[in-house]
A and B are shown apart, each in its own frame.
Chain A
Amino acid sequence: MRHLLGTEGLDPATALAILDTADGLKRTLLGREVKKLPTLRGRTVITCFYEDSTRTRVSFEIAGKWMSADVVNVSAGSSSAKKGESLRDTALTLAAAGADCVVVRHPASGAAHRVASWLSHTNTSVVNAGDGTHEHPTQALLDMATLRERLGGVEGRRIGIVGDVLHSRVARSNVHLLTSFGAEVVLVAPPTLLPTGVADWPVGAAGSLRISHYLDAELPTLDAVMMLRVQAERMHGGFFPSAREYSIAYGLSEARAAMLPEHAVVLHPGPMLRGMEISPAVADSGRSAITQQVANGVHVRMAVLYHLLAGEEDAA
């Protein structure tokens, strides 16, 4: 694998290999005092974030460091991007400075793909850590790792993705990955928060995709529910009458959580707005896997770096 740019078109065998590696890494490090593996000694990973982030940037940094890679963090606010340098020049600079892998987050959809094409003449790998409203593949992989642990797998399982699908790269990446593993995905959102053409999104052959506007009707048959953050920073205009009304119709309250089957899991990619899309009591309940998702995020990102950087270089 040369780059990880999205889950659309990601070969299920490769995805499975990454998940198995993440699982192996988790078990290898379990209960260890020294969480350090020599595997990526001498390799350099640069995270380049044009958007704010806590968990993604931190977990990529920890992942790199636990594998003994040298990790350098660049954020747009304190880099030459502020002086007007283009993304292309920044990417070429980081590659020329010796990056074996560049982890990019950018507000523009498709940014990671562009960076990968600009770096095609180099040996540098590119990981998409979120590009606009397009994809966030490592989030989908860590969600899958969490669902595998909690449910034993997603084949034939019904997963609800609820809320601001329109602005969500997490939703898009999850739809591709979950359906390619045979899950039945239900997108639950008001019509204003669904992207046009969502019904025609390409879906993995083994799975299916359905749209719903009524959360209460879906809850009793879901094996897992993934709550999405309402992304106010990407909203220019009225998508719903008020925050309170949104919360009443689509928020996961305690009463709603009680409608879920006993075994159902609650996920949230974070950062969550307590009281908006999810109530604090549900977020902290036993069926919430939110902190487990963060812990798995480190192992999944270690696995991604392993698959990108540890094997022999392929020509692709």
Chain B
Amino acid sequence: MPPRPRGAPEPAERRELLSAGDVARTIARMAHQVIEKTSLGASGASPVVLLGIPTRGAPLATRLAARVADFSDIRVPVGALDVTLYRDDLRRKPTRPLGQTALPAGGIEDALVILVDDVLFSGRTIRAALDALRDVGRPRAVQLAVLVDRGHRELPIRADYVGKNVPTARTEEVHVLLTETDGRDAVLLNRAGERS
């Protein structure tokens, strides 16, 4: 089934899980959790670095950092980490274009790295991200923040910060739309499997 262009008006079988307002509130809540869980700003706490996984994890990381700065007055370095070259499913799909990798100037050595992605599904993207991370430095610890956890893990991976848990069927599709990439904020559930 050809993918629908993101941002196109959704048909009846598309359900809105999060509205634009919900997305903003969810990111704000996650920012508070990051500040609390990492003891941000406390003496002796490791420096925190947010790394978004392209495509939509990158703008999410930027937004999360902006909220963290709003609530704590601490500017956390933000970067992007493309994992395409580390994926284990490259040979199952047509050639993928690469995303952008941009590490913060200070690097990630001995930092507490929080990986940020839009949807946590099989966990394979995160596995690839952990491998990619190993090639760029040695963080003290790695955590994971996702806007939506839709279940169906295929690897022993879990998120430390979850915006919304959504029970889904494997055939359904979860689409995160962000203003930066899609023109508006929303999270949609597409019952793709029922139509085909």
Contact = CB atoms under 8 A, between A and B. Distances in A.
Nearest to B99: A24
Contacts, number: 54
B91 A310 contact: yes
Given A28-B101, A32-B135, A311-B90, A37 B85 contact: yes
A17 B96 CA distance: 10
Contacts of A312: 91-94
Contact of B97 (A1, A20, A28): A20
Contacts of B95: 1, 17, 306-307, 310-311
Interface string B87-113: 000111111111111100000000000
A45 to B, nearest CB: 16
Given A28-B85, A306-B95, A311-B95, A39 B90 contact: yes
- Most chain A CB atoms below 10 A, which of B90, B97, B98: B98
A27 B101 contact: yes
Q: Report, as a range, how many residues of chain B touch the other chain.
A: 10 to 19
Contacts of B97: 17, 20-21, 24
B91 to A, nearest CB: 6
Contacts of B90: 39, 310-311
Contacts of B91: 310-313
Given A38-B85, A310-B90, A310-B91, A32 B136 contact: yes
B131 interface: yes
- Most chain A CB atoms below 10 A, which of B82, B86, B95: B95
A234 interface: no
B98 A20 contact: yes
A15 interface: no
Interface in B125-152: 131, 135-136
Contacts of B86: 37-39
25 contacts: A1-B95, A20-B97, A24-B97, A24-B100, A24-B101, A27-B102, A28-B101, A32-B135, A34-B135, A36-B135, A37-B86, A38-B85, A39-B85, A307-B95, A310-B90, A310-B91, A310-B96, A311-B90, A311-B93, A311-B96, A312-B91, A312-B92, A312-B93, A313-B91, A314-B94
Interface of A: 1, 17, 20-21, 24-25, 27-28, 32, 34, 36-39, 306-307, 310-314
Given A24-B101, A37-B135, A306-B85, 7 more contacts: A20-B97, A24-B97, A27-B100, A37-B86, A39-B85, A310-B95, A310-B96
Which 4 pairs of residues, A with B, have the shortest CB-CB distance? A311-B95, A24-B98, A39-B85, A310-B90
